[in-house]
Structure formats: structure tokens, C-alpha cells
């Protein structure tokens, strides 16, 4: 059997890395950088970046238009060619980073990403999500190579609202369970080939890191302080989960997340929050040990991730609505089919109800106590 894993070329993380290490890292990649920043990052960090890079590498800063669309990718690509850029940098949230990744890939230039949030595991991956200019999902794009550089300044992550970190933990929480089921089945990862043992062990390490440091990291982030625990969880959310999902594989939790999006009431909740509840449903669906289920519920409660349908906007959801979610999660091409046994929409619907019932029962016990 041939296995395949894919990784970013370099991963740099630490407090102050934006000013202490980004200049030398970019200078090693090229002579002139086009830096794409989202509007919030532009207002907050434009001068910091300009001061750090001055005299080290030439650069031009562009402001992201708000959607990772074909039109925006074409605009940034044209600007990069106009100024003679030989390295593309994305700084901000997921759509900004995806636009930089797609631009760099289209021009065959080195790609550097500087995430300012630890809310998903996307920065290290070769996956790009393309939207219309109006914000509607259009297609997935797999670029030929992962980013050349991923640089995370932990002080920037700590300065953001804690909900971003917690959402990233919710996304990363699924990584080991999904990778493990892909391993058992021999299912393909994002390359379509099975992952190597390295990917599965990294996915497991992601889970144990979250269990060990997640609570401490949340408390530190609430105070906007960088601590070793926060550093560990930033790494788990960004690097370990990114490697684990891309080279290990996705399965039921993300398929359930995708199914949940058919109900408009869930749209105001973040990706990682819905993945977290999808993970709880996956544990029911795949008959995980009761002790493990208890551990995951307790962890979600401790850090504020959803444990009931009401927590993701679905209080009073009907059986027909949940069946629609289940059918969407089981449609052809979904990662639900990476599970090592056949899954039916009815089984997913039952798992969603069961996960909700456990969450509700635990909340009643807490209130009574």
C-alpha cells in the first residue's frame, strides 16, 4: 500500500514572531513580497509589519476585499505581476489566507501565511475554499503544494477574543477520531491516498494536547496572556490538527458539520463550534467507549463548546429537519463514507438526538447540583 503525507515547508510560532522572525523568513523566500491583509489586520498591524520589514525585503501591502473569489484571486495576481512580487504573503483570517494561497499557486510563487486567529486548522493545508463575490460557496481548490511558510505570532492570537481559540479547539477535537476511523478503513486523506502512521500519531497527539492544556489555554487567552499552555494549544489547533486532518483524513464529524449547514439557524455559529457537536454525535454513531464520551463532554463543558442542539441554534428542531441534516451528511462524496462501516441517514439522525439528550441531561445535573 502506498501512503502519502503533505506538510508546509516551515512552521514558525512564538510570541513576537511577526517582528522578530517574519523579516528573515520572507527574505529567504524572495526579494519582493506582496502582502495581502484583511481590513482589521491592516488597520491594526500595517505599521508594525512595515517597520519590521523595512530595509530587509521590498514589499507592497494590499487590502483583502472580503471574499476568496476567482475575481479577487485574479486581482491580487495581476497586482503581484505588476509590482514584480516573487513571494505572496497572506495575513489575517481564513479567506485572506486562502486567497494568498490560491494567488501564490497560480503564479507558481512561494506562499507565506500569517494567521491572526487560531480558530481553524486551515493555515497549514493545501485546501482553498472558493466563494462567489457575494459570499456563496463555489468550489474547493487543492493547490499543488502546501504553504512554504506558516508563521504564527502567539501574542496576536492571545489578543483576539477567546471565542476564536475555543472554536479552533472544537475543530481540532475531531482530528484524532476522524483520522483513526480513516486508518481503520484505509480511507484516503486529502491526497486521496491513505495516510502514513506519522499522520495518525500526530492526530492522536493533537487530542492529548487539547485534553492536557485546553482549559489552561482558554484561561490564559481570556486574560490575553501568552503562556506555555496557550502555545501548546495554538500549535495543536494550527499545526497538529492541520497535519492530522490533511494527511490522516476526515470522516463523520465534518460530514455532520456540513449537514448542519442546511439549516439556516446554524449559520451564525462558527465552523469549530458545529464540528464540536458533530464530534459528539460521531462518538455516539461509532460506539466509542462510555469513558471516552464522558471525557469529551466534560471537556466541551469546561471550555464552552456546544453539547446540545440548542447550543448551535437548533432548540426545538424537528425530526424532519434533523433527517435533512443527516441525509446531507451522507450524500455522495461526503467524508461520512470514510467511516469503516456503512452509515445511514437514520443512524446519523439517531446519533444527533442521542448526543443532544446526553448534553441536556448533563446540564440538568449541573443545575440541580
Please tell me whether residues 167 and 124 are part of one structural domain.
Answer: no
Active site residues: 171, 254, 257, 271
* 201 within a domain of the structure (yes/no): yes
Mean pLDDT, the chain, rounded, equals 96
> For 2, phi and psi rounded to 5 degrees?
-95, 125
Can you give the CATH number for the domain in which 198 is found?
Answer: 1.20.1090.10
What is the distance between the alpha carbons of residues 54 and 46, in angstroms, rounded to a whole number?
A: 12
SS (H, E, C) 160-215: CCHHHHHHHHHHHHCHHHHHHHHHHHCCCCCCCCCCCHHHHHHHHHHHHHHHHHHH
How large is the average pLDDT for residues 195-211?
98
How large is the average pLDDT for residues 116-140?
87
Please tell me whether residues 244 and 325 are part of one structural domain.
Answer: yes
* 357 within a domain of the structure (yes/no): yes
Please tell me whether residues 70 and 198 are part of one structural domain.
Answer: no
The answer to whether the annotation marks 77 as part of a ligand binding site is no
Per-residue pLDDT at 369 exceeds 70: no
Provide the domain count of the chain: 2
* 285 within a domain of the structure (yes/no): yes
SS3 content of the chain, % helix, strand, coil (to 5): 55, 10, 30
Please give the pLDDT value at position 179.
98
pLDDT tens digits for 227-279? 999 999 999 999 999 999 999 999 999 999 999 999 999 989 999 999 999 99
The answer to whether the annotation marks 140 as part of a ligand binding site is no
Q: pLDDT: is 119 or 110 the higher one?
A: 110
* 3 within a domain of the structure (yes/no): no
Residue among 244, 241, 311 nearest 281 (CA): 311
Can you give the CATH number for the domain in which 66 is found?
Answer: 3.40.50.1970
Residues of the domain holding 128: 10-158
Please tell me whether residues 81 and 182 are part of one structural domain.
Answer: no
The answer to whether the annotation marks 118 as part of a ligand binding site is yes
Which residues on neighbouring strands pair with residue 34, listed in sequence order? 60, 88
* 226 within a domain of the structure (yes/no): yes
Please give the pLDDT value at position 140.
86
Sign of the alpha-carbon torsion through 267, 204, 16, 143: negative
Please tell me whether residues 265 and 318 are part of one structural domain.
Answer: yes
Domain boundary among 114, 129, 158: 158
How large is the average pLDDT for residues 137-151?
93
State the burial class of residue 140 (Cβ atoms within 10 Å of its Cβ: 0-12, 13-18, 19+).
Answer: exposed
The answer to whether the annotation marks 96 as part of a ligand binding site is yes
Domain boundary among 133, 158, 183: 158
Please tell me whether residues 143 and 48 are part of one structural domain.
Answer: yes
pLDDT tens digits for 159-168? 999 999 999 9
Please tell me whether residues 83 and 59 are part of one structural domain.
Answer: yes
* 214 within a domain of the structure (yes/no): yes
Q: At what angle do helices 290-303 and 197-222 cross, to 10 degrees?
A: 40
Please tell me whether residues 182 and 149 are part of one structural domain.
Answer: no
Work out the percent of the chain whose per-residue pLDDT is above 90: 91
Confidence of residue 299 (pLDDT cuts 50, 70, 90): very high
Per-residue pLDDT at 318 exceeds 70: yes
Domain boundary among 112, 138, 158: 158
Please tell me whether residues 297 and 332 are part of one structural domain.
Answer: yes
Please tell me whether residues 283 and 172 are part of one structural domain.
Answer: yes
* 329 within a domain of the structure (yes/no): yes
Q: pLDDT: is 118 or 206 the higher one?
A: 206
Please tell me whether residues 27 and 147 are part of one structural domain.
Answer: yes
Please tell me whether residues 265 and 132 are part of one structural domain.
Answer: no
What is the distance between the alpha carbons of residues 146 and 9, in angstroms, rounded to a whole number?
A: 7
* 4 within a domain of the structure (yes/no): no
The answer to whether the annotation marks 350 as part of a ligand binding site is no
Amino acid at each position: 500500500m502506498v501512503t502519502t503525507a503533505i506538510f508546509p515547508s516551515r512552521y514558525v510560532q512564538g510570541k513576537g514572531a511577526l517582528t522578530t522572525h517574519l523579516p528573515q523568513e520572507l527574505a529567504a523566500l524572495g526579494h519582493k513580497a506582496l502582502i495581502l491583509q484583511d481590513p482589521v489586520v491592516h488597520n491594526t498591524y500595517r505599521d508594525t509589519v512595515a517597520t519590521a520589514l523595512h530595509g530587509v525585503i521590498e514589499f507592497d501591502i494590499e487590502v483583502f476585499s472580503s471574499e476568496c473569489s476567482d475575481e479577487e484571486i485574479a486581482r491580487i495576481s495581476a497586482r503581484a505581476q505588476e509590482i514584480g512580487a516573487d513571494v505572496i504573503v497572506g495575513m489575517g483570517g481564513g479567506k485572506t489566507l486562502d486567497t494568498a494561497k490560491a494567488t501564490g499557486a497560480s503564479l507558481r510563487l512561494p506562499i507565506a501565511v500569517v494567521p491572526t486567529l487560531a480558530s481553524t486548522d486551515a493555515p497549514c493545508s493545501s485546501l482553498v475554499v472558493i466563494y462567489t463575490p457575494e459570499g456563496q460557496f463555489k468550489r474547493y481548490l487543492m493547490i499543488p503544494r502546501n504553504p512554504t511558510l506558516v508563521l504564527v505570532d502567539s501574542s496576536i492570537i492571545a489578543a483576539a477574543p477567546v471565542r476564536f481559540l475555543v472554536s479552533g479547539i472544537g475543530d481540532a477535537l475531531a482530528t484524532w477520531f476522524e483520522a483513526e476511523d480513516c486508518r481503520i478503513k484505509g480511507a484516503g486523506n486529502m491526497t486521496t491516498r491513505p495516510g502514513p502512521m506519522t499522520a495518525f500519531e500526530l492526530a492522536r497527539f493533537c487530542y492529548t494536547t487539547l485534553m492536557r492544556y485546553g482549559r489552561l489555554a482558554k484561561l490564559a487567552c481570556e486574560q490575553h496572556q501568552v503562556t506555555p499552555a496557550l502555545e501548546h494549544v495554538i500549535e495543536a489547533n494550527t499545526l497538529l490538527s492541520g497535519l492530522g486532518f490533511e494527511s490522516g483524513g476526515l470522516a463523520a464529524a465534518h460530514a455532520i458539520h456540513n449537514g448542519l449547514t442546511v439549516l439556516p439557524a446554524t449559520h451564525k455559529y462558527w465552523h469549530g463550534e458545529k464540528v464540536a457537536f458533530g464530534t459528539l454525535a460521531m462518538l455516539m454513531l461509532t460506539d466509542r467507549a462510555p469513558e471516552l464520551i464522558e471525557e469529551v463532554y466534560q471537556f466541551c463543558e469546561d471550555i464552552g463548546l456546544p453539547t446540545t442542539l440548542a447550543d448551535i441554534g437548533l432548540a426545538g428542531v424537528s425530526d424532519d429537519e434533523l433527517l435533512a441534516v443527516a441525509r446531507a451528511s451522507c450524500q455522495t462524496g461526503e467524508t461520512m463514507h470514510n467511516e469503516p462501516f456503512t452509515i445511514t441517514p437514520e443512524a446519523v439522525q439517531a446519533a444527533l438526538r442521542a448526543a443532544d439528550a446526553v448534553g441536556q441531561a448533563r446540564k440538568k445535573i449541573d443545575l440541580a447540583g
